Structure 1
Amino acid sequence: MGAPELPEAEIHATFERLLEEGLQSPQVADALRRPGGTLDRGRLRTRALQARDDILAAAAVEYREFVEALADVAAGTKDRSASEGPETGVPSAGGGLLPVLAVLVTSLAVAAAAVCLIIGFVLLALGARPYVGEALITSGLIAGAVAVGGAIGDLAYFIVAAARSRAADRPDAPEDAATGAAHAREEWELALLERGVLPFLLGRLEESSAAEREGPSARRSARGL
């Protein structure tokens, strides 16, 4: 299915704006001031409005590219909204539960290491059951190593999660599509002005001047016959 057409009101407003630009251009203004023509600014504008569809056809390729660019913007906005989904306020298991568990495990490991080391050193200092104190110190060192490893893992997880969050929030694709649509519109309007409006206006003025020049010659020829 092709891209949807622009609203008729937008096409007409764009055409009238470009028509005014064409009528105010130096080429058309100079042609209107030349003697011998039968068209004034109002009549020329009326003829252009009557031939609007033919003039628009001169920039049909650029118009189609502009419409397709608008369709890409609309599709990108729709896809982005669908991927974000409704906000329910409930954190997902990957985004909310895992970080909490990771921090909890690391905290417990730190607490266990501290308790074992304190009790172990106290027992060694008191000289009571040294083998128990040594075992507790060993357990404390192991728990400390687990805590350090868990902290490093948590740090790596949060760095990766933050990077992914920034990448998801970056609206590069919609902005690129919008920029492309704006550029396509400029190309369409430029083509419509240069290949459609101006040639039509100058062509009608030239036809009017030629007809006025040929008029007296035709009348003289008729009298000679």
Structure 2
Amino acid sequence: MHMNVAPHLLTEDRAEFERVLDEALRSAHDRPGFAHLGDRFTTAQLREMALNATALITTAAAVEYDHFVKVREQLRSASTTGATGAGEALGGTADPTDGAGVVAIVTVLAPILAGTAAVLLLLVGAVLKLLDPAPAFADTLLTAGLMFGAVAAAGLICAAVGLLVTALRNSATAVPAGPPDDDLSRARQAWGRALVDRGILPFLHDVLAAPAPPALPKPRQQPPTGRIPKVGYSGPDFSSPSEGAPAPRPTFSSPDFSSPDFGPPEHHPE
């Protein structure tokens, strides 16, 4: 889930914003008025809503955030300037066309070359002194080796003094490292407090004050259907007679059977 970052919130400060938000959500239940915060929303839901409202929350602490960014840029500029000055000093030392550069190179190389020559001369002179008879120039080699050894020792002393002077010069121009509670830490803490007091807590209060959404109506339950499908016709309606009322009895009338008239013909008067 990517949060909506405010226009003035830098990318490098997103993690710090999320850290402050998570800490505020963890301790929100202990604050007055937020004891029932978890009854309506979970912590994950509140965090998602707050991330979606990042622009609104960070705007409330814009003044403290601008001060925090300004202090951080000043410290970075000072560190960059100090590193540039040290690089220029090293470059000047290594430049052979500069007088100071030549002196530095001689000061560094002289003890190395003199010490190497002293070791070789003393070693060769000592080997020649073991011969019988010893060559005449064996003592000369030993004397030369001692001289080069003295030059190497003097060069080491000069190099040590030069390094000490350079260290003292750099310490005078270096930016001192501040204690843990320096200006940058104080500015970051002030921004975090402003985010909580003027941004996150008012947002949570508005969330609690908003009316709850209406509950959705329950869907109508369909009557259970049997395993046998219903055919397309219905059976006859066999209903029992009503209680207390006599059922109508069928009436049967007998057919009218009359005998034919077989009597004698009537005698009509003439």
TM score, norm. by length of structure 2: 0.43
Q: Deviations over 1:20-52 (max 9, x none)?
A: 11211112761325xxx6434333222211111
Counterpart in the other structure of 2:79: 77
| Unmatched runs of 5 consecutive residues or more in structure 1 | 101-157, 216-225
Q: 1:66 to 1:177 in 2, by over 3 A?
A: farther
**Larger relative helix fraction:** 1
Aligned partner (choices 17, 25, 30) of residue 23 of structure 1: 25
Give the CA deviation at 1:68.
0.8
Q: Per-residue deviation at 1:168? A: 3.0
Structure with greater Cα Rg: 2
Which residue of the partner structure matches residue 58 of structure 2? Answer: 56
1:32 aligned to 26, 31, 37, which one? 37
Q: How does 1:55-204 map to 2 (within 5 A)?
A: 55-86=57-88, 87-88=90-91, 89-90=93-94, 93=99, 165-166=167-168, 168-170=170-172, 173=175, 175-176=177-178, 179-204=182-207
> Take 1:68 and 1:165, find their aligned partners in 2: how far apart are those partners?
31
Unaligned runs of 5+ in 2: 1-7, 107-160, 215-270
CA 1:174 to 1:61, structure 2 compared with 1: closer, same or farther past 3 Å? farther
Contact 2:94 2:101 in 1 (8 A): no
One-letter identity of the residue aligned with 2:203: F
Aligned 8 A contact 1:55 1:196 in 2: yes
1:172: how far off?
5.9
The one-letter code sitting in structure 1 at the alignment partner of 2:192 is E
Task: Note closer, same or farther for the CA distance 1:83–1:12 as it changes in structure 2 (3 Å cut).
Answer: closer
Q: Which has the higher relative contact order, 1 or 2, with Cα contacts under 8 A spaced 6 or more apart?
A: 1
Q: What SS is found at the alignment partner of 2:41?
A: coil
Q: Confirm or deny: 8 A CA contact 1:77 1:174 kept in the other structure.
A: no
**Alpha carbons of structure 1 residues 63 and 177: separation in structure 2 relative to 1, 3 Å:** farther
The CA deviation string for residues 81-108 of structure 1, in whole angstroms up to 9 with x for no partner, is 22222425549756995xx9xxxxxxxx
Give 1:182 deviation, angstroms: 2.3
**Counterpart for residue 44 of structure 2:** 42
Give identity over the alignment, percent: 29
Tell me the matched-pair count: 144
Deviations 1:98-139, CA, capped at 9 Å, x for gaps: xx9xxxxxxxxxxxxxxxxxxxxxxxxxxxxxxxxxxxxxxx
Amino acid of the structure 1 residue aligned with 2:35: D
| RMSD of Structure 2 on Structure 1 (CA) | 3.8
In structure 1, C-alpha distance between the alignment counterparts of 2:170 and 2:20, rounded to whole Å = 41
- Give the TM-score normalised by structure 1: 0.50
Residues 185 and 172 of structure 1, relative CA distance in 2, 3 Å threshold: farther
